A and B are shown apart, each in its own frame.
Chain A
Amino acid sequence: MRRARPAGDRSHIARLTILGLAGALVFVSLFSLTAGASDASVVDLIRATLSSDIEISARDRVIIYDIRLPRVALGILIGAALAVSGAVMQGLFRNPLADPGLVGVSAGAGLGAISIIVLGGTTLGPVVALLGIYALPFAAFLGGLATTLLLYKVATRRGQTSVATMLLAGIALGAMAGAFSGVLVYLADDNQLRDLTFWGLGSLAGATWTKILAAGPIIVLALVASPFLARGLNALALGEGAAHHLGVPVQRLKNIAIVAVAAATGASVAVSGGIGFVGIVVPHLLRLSIGPDHRYLLPASALLGASLLLLADAVSRTIVAPAELPIGIVTAAVGAPFFLWILLRRRGVLDL
C-alpha cells in the first residue's frame, strides 16, 4: 500500500501539473507549426525528412522553417520570460500584484528599446556598432534594470515592501519612461514611427532567427538562473528578516532576482514590444492549483506562459485573418479583466 500523502503537501500535484504543462506545450507548439494561412504541414515535412519518397515544395519548407518555426520558438521564449519574470517579481515584492508591465519595468525597458530604434543611427550609433544585434535587447535590459532598482529602493523600507507605494511608484516610473519615450517618438522620422507603432503594440509577427539569436541567450540565461532563486524566494515570503534568519543571503538573492527580472523583461520587450498581463495571470492561476512554492511555480510558469502566448498568437492570427491583430491587444483584452477580478476577490492584498 502506498503511504498516504501528508496533509498540506502539494508537491505531488505540482509535479503532475508540470508534466501536464510540458505535454500541453509540445501539443500547442505542433499545432502552431501546422496552423496558418498556408496549408504547409509539419507532418508532411517530417515525413519528407524521414523518407526520400515524399517530396515537399520549397515554398512549404520556407514557410515552416523560416516563418512558423522562428515564430513558435520566439513565442515560447517570450511567454516563458514574461511569466517567470512576473513570478520572480511577485516573490521579490512579496505581492501577487507585482508585474513588470504594471509597475513600469516594461515601460523602462521600452524606453531603452526606443532609444536604440530612434537614436541607433545617430547619437547611439557607436553602441549599435559595438553590440550589433544585441544593442536593442541590451538597451531594453538596462532600461528595465534601472526601473526595477529604482522601484525597489522607493517601495521597500527596512525589508518591508509597501504595496501601495510600489504600485504608485510604478505609475510614476511608467509615466516618466513614457514621457522620455514620447520625446524620442517626436524626434523619430516616418519610417521609425511605423516601426515604433507596431513594435509598441506587441507582436510576434516578423519573428526571425536573428531576433531569436539576439534575445534568446539573455532570456535563456534568466530562465536558467530562476530555479536557483526558488528556495530563497520561498523564505522571502516570510519577510526579509525571517529569510535572513533562515540562512538566506538576502541581499544577493534580491540582486540576482532584480537582474533576472530586468533581463527577461528587457529582452522580451526588445523583440516583441509590450505584451502585458502574462506575468500576472499565469503565476496567479498556478498558485491557485499548485500553491506558491517557487520550486514548482517557476518552471510551471515558464511552461504555461509559453503555451498561453502561443495560443494568444494563434488567436491574433486567426481572428481577423488574413490580417493579424497585435498579440498585445489579445493578452490585454483577456488579462485586464482577469486582473480586475483578482482585485475584486482579494481586496485585502492592497492593505498589506
Chain B
Amino acid sequence: MIETRNVKVSLGGRPILHGIDFTAIAGEITAIVGPNGSGKSTFLKALSGDLDSMGEIRIDGRDLRSLKPWQAAGLRAVLPQATSLSFPFTVREIVRLGLMGGRSGVADRDLETLPDRALSTVDLSGFAGRHYQELSGGEQQRVQLARVLCQVWEPVLDGQARYLFLDEPVSSLDIKHQLVIMNVARDYARRGGGVIAVLHDLNLTAMYADRMMMLNEGRVAAFGAPADLLTDELIETVFDCRLRVGVAPLGNVPFVLPQSIRA
C-alpha cells in the first residue's frame, strides 16, 4: 500500500499541492484525474522522488523518500510522460535498461528474452532492432513502458507487492493501443501489483480504474470509486465544464466509447 499524508509541493516559491492525502492499494488501478494544472503530474513526481515535498509518503509503512535509489527501484517503476534521447540507442538497448537493477523477478535464464516478452506485451514485437529515435511518439512511449515493465516484471516479489507509476500512459496513443496499455495495467494489478496512473480520459478511467482521486487546484476534490465520483455535479465543479454522465448525443451524431470494445 502506498499512502501519503498532507503532501505539499512548491515550485519556485509557488505552492502547487496543498496537502494531498492519498492511498493506493496493491491489486488495484488508482487513477489520478483533474484539469490541466491541477497538480496531477506534480503529485506523481513527488511520489517518485523527482520533486522535493513535505508530508509523509509511505510504501507498506516505510518512508519512500528515505529508501536508497536502488531499493526504491525494486519497489516501483516510473513511466514519464515522454522521453527523448540524443544518442542512437536501439529499442532493445533501451528496454534492457529496465533490467539493470536486477529486481525483475524472473529466472536468470529468462532475462535475455525478457525484453522481447515485454515488447510483445506492449504490441511492439519485432521492434527490438529498430532505432528508438526513428519511432513515432506513441511507439516511443510504448518502448518506455516495456522498459518500465522489465524493471518490476513480477508484480509481487518475495511477498512484496510492487507498483507502476504511469504519467499519462495513453495520451499519445491511438485507441487500440490505449486499450492494450490499459489492459497491461489491469493485468498487472490483477496479478497482485499496484498501478497509479495519471489519466485524462474519463471513459478509460471509468472502465479501468478501481479507485480515483480527483484533483483540483492542488487539492483533493474527491476520492473513491469511479461509479461514485463520475457525477454531473463533481465533473462540473472540478473541470468547470457542464457535462452529463451517461447521456448519448442527440440526433445522428456518431460517438465511440472505449467501453464498446468487443471481447
Contact = CB atoms under 8 A, between A and B. Distances in A.
Contacts of A352: 84, 86
A6 B116 contact: yes
Contacts of A247: 69-74, 100-101
Contacts of B92: 6-9
B48 A287 contact: no
Nearest to A93: B86
B225 to A, nearest CB: 29
Given A6-B116, A7-B129, A247-B72, A292 B87 contact: yes
A293 interface: yes
A291 B93 contact: yes
A250 B130 CA distance: 28
A245 B78 contact: yes
Interface in A22-57: none
Nearest to A5: B129
B87 A8 contact: no
A321 to B, nearest CB: 41
A234 B101 CA distance: 13
B260 interface: no
B69 A237 contact: no
A58 to B, nearest CB: 52
B112 interface: yes
Contacts of B129: 7-8
A291 B68 CA distance: 30
Contacts, number: 101
Most buried by B among A231, A244, A349: A244
A241 B148 CA distance: 13
A242 B80 contact: yes
B86 A238 contact: no
A249 interface: yes
Most buried by A among B45, B80, B91, B97: B97
A246 B97 contact: yes
B100 A241 contact: no
A42 B210 CA distance: 77
A239 interface: yes
Most buried by B among A9, A242, A248, A250: A242
B87 A96 contact: yes
Interface in B68-122: 68-74, 76-78, 80, 83-94, 97-98, 100-101, 112-113, 116
A8 B50 contact: no
B49 interface: yes
B151 A246 contact: yes
B70 to A, nearest CB: 4
B50 A238 contact: no
Contact of B78 (A94, A96, A234, A242): A242
Interface string A92-113: 0011100000000000000000
Given A8-B129, A239-B80, A249 B86 contact: no
A46 to B, nearest CB: 43
B180 interface: no
Contacts of A349: 86
B87 A245 contact: no
Contact of B100 (A10, A235, A237, A250): A235
A242 B83 contact: yes
B162 to A, nearest CB: 13
Contact of A246 (B89, B98, B113, B128): B98
B128 A241 contact: no
Given A9-B92, A237-B87, A242-B80, A248 B69 contact: yes
A94 B70 CA distance: 22
Contacts of B78: 241-242, 245
Nearest to A251: B69
A8 B96 CA distance: 11
Contacts of A237: 85-87, 89
B100 A293 contact: no
Interface string A288-327: 1001110000000000000000000000000000000000
Given A237-B85, A246-B73, A247-B73, A291 B97 contact: no
B80 A250 contact: no
A247 to B, nearest CB: 3
B86 A293 contact: no
Given A7-B128, A9-B92, 19 more contacts: A6-B112, A6-B113, A8-B128, A8-B129, A9-B90, A94-B87, A96-B86, A234-B93, A235-B97, A237-B89, A241-B80, A244-B49, A245-B49, A245-B151, A247-B71, A247-B73, A250-B69, A291-B89, A352-B86
Interface of A: 6-10, 94-96, 159, 231, 234-235, 237-239, 241-242, 244-250, 287-288, 291-293, 349, 352
26 contacts: A6-B92, A6-B112, A7-B126, A7-B128, A8-B91, A8-B128, A9-B128, A95-B86, A234-B93, A234-B97, A237-B85, A237-B87, A238-B94, A241-B45, A241-B50, A241-B78, A242-B83, A244-B49, A245-B76, A245-B77, A247-B69, A247-B71, A248-B70, A291-B93, A293-B89, A293-B93
The 8 nearest A-B residue pairs measured at CB: A247-B73, A7-B129, A8-B92, A292-B87, A8-B90, A247-B70, A8-B129, A245-B78
